């Protein structure tokens, strides 16, 4: 079906708001998208969870191993259902007309009104996307329908109290979670540590009596391979509003995820990336508001949960 003028116009305004939106996509900082699963209309992704092989055979060179049992990778089928996140809006027609040059919609005069509407809507979509990547999607607040990295973490410490206002507590928390990941059999070279701004800003302000910044320490803890052999420090602290935090009690959750560009442990399915739509009313279009929407379709995917860890009793209070 041929695109309408408004669909072409939507593609024209997309670069105006998508690039400014990128810094808000914190969820995409901790996981990489799978480039092979892309397209409109994907509602189920059938994938496999890989269970690793057993220990190898050790023997002297001259023996053959025909008599020994052969191993294989075990597969557990998993269905990942991507969700569409949509923010619809309406643009008053007279305002829209005022912002374009004599109704020539290809030549905006100054500020592009539609792009501003789209950016504002997209920011809300981005927040929901971040929330789904970090927390998962639970329409009733407790029963998860789509697992996020926090809800699907391999190990979650729910009781150990960490007081991030005190020096060395955030580093200790990260080190404990890395130990939990190592105990579960995963050993990533670097980690990202995601926090709500309430906790992040607390850690950022903590300094020891000797003048050592907590944040510097924490980043070193997150990069064990870099500290060991001098490779670049790629693991870092991520700040996002959607991570759990109660501003009254000052208690929240933190999430440790592997830096995983090869998508060994975690990945994202971005089946439809950010896109805007504009549409005139079906009858009397010159007199009725334009309808628009911004949407994307995505799902986080945990391939091996043992590389993820979380803590839910993290407080900003000092001891």
Which residues form the interface with another protein (CB under 8 A)?
Answer: 135-136, 138, 141-142, 144, 147, 150-160, 180, 184, 244, 246, 251, 253, 305-306, 312-313
Shortest Å distance, C-beta 297 to another protein: 23
Q: Which is nearer to another protein, 24 or 151 (CB)?
A: 151
- Rounded Cα–Cα distance for residues 164 and 198 (Å): 10
The tally of CA atoms less than 13 A away on the side-chain side of residue 284 is 3
Q: Which is nearer to another protein, 253 or 271 (CB)?
A: 253
Shortest Å distance, C-beta 100 to another protein: 46
Shortest Å distance, C-beta 244 to another protein: 7
Q: Are 73 and 51 in contact (CB under 8 A)?
A: yes
Shortest Å distance, C-beta 183 to another protein: 9
Shortest Å distance, C-beta 275 to another protein: 30
Of residues 36, 41, 50, the one with CA closest to residue 302: 50
Q: Which is nearer to another protein, 139 or 232 (CB)?
A: 139
The residues, ordered by sequence, that sit 6+ positions from 46 with a Cβ below 8 Å of its Cβ are 77, 78, 79
Q: Which is nearer to another protein, 49 or 93 (CB)?
A: 49
Q: Which is nearer to another protein, 29 or 176 (CB)?
A: 176
Q: Which is nearer to another protein, 127 or 304 (CB)?
A: 304
Q: Are 111 and 305 in contact (CB under 8 A)?
A: no
- Rounded Cα–Cα distance for residues 312 and 158 (Å): 5
Q: Which is nearer to another protein, 10 or 135 (CB)?
A: 135
- Rounded Cα–Cα distance for residues 174 and 257 (Å): 11
Shortest Å distance, C-beta 132 to another protein: 13
Q: Where are the beta strands (DSSP E) in the chain?
A: 45-51, 74-80, 83-91, 100-101, 104-108, 136-137, 146-147, 155-157, 162-163, 191-195, 237-239, 245-246, 251-258, 266-279, 290-302, 309-315
- Rounded Cα–Cα distance for residues 241 and 246 (Å): 11
Shortest Å distance, C-beta 138 to another protein: 6
């Amino acid at each position: 079906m041929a695109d309408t003028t408004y669909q072409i116009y939507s593609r024209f305004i997309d670069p105006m708001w998508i690039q400014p939106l990128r810094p808000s996509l914190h969820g995409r900082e901790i996981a990489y998208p799978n480039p092979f699963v892309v397209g409109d209309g994907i509602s189920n992704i059938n994938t496999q969870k890989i269970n690793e092989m057993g220990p190898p055979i050790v023997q002297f060179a001259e023996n053959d191993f025909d008599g020994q049992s052969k191993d294989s990778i075990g597969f557990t089928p998993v269905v990942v259902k991507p969700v569409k996140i949509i923010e619809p809006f309406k643009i008053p027609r007279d305002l829209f007309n005022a912002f374009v040059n004599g109704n020539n919609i290809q030549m905006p005069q100054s500020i592009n009104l539609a792009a501003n509407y789209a950016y504002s809507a997209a920011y809300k979509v981005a927040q929901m996307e971040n929330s789904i990547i970090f927390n998962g999607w639970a329409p009733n607040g407790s029963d998860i329908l789509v697992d996020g990295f926090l809800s699907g973490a391999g190990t979650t410490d729910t009781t150990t109290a960490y007081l991030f206002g005190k020096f060395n507590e955030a580093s200790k928390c990260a080190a404990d979670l890395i130990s939990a990941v190592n105990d579960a059999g995963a050993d990533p070279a670097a980690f990202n540590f995601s926090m709500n701004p309430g906790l992040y800003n607390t850690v950022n302000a903590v300094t020891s009596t000797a003048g050592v910044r907590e944040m510097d320490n924490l980043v070193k803890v997150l990069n064990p391979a870099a500290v060991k052999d001098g490779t670049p420090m790629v693991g870092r602290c991520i700040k996002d509003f959607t991570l759990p935090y109660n501003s009254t009690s000052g208690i929240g959750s933190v999430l440790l995820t592997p830096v995983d560009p090869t998508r060994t442990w975690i990945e994202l399915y971005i089946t439809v990336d950010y896109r805007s739509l504009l549409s005139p009313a079906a009858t009397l279009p010159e007199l009725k508001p334009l309808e628009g929407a911004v949407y994307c379709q995505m799902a986080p995917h945990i391939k091996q949960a043992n590389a993820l860890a979380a803590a839910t009793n993290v407080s900003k209070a000092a001891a």
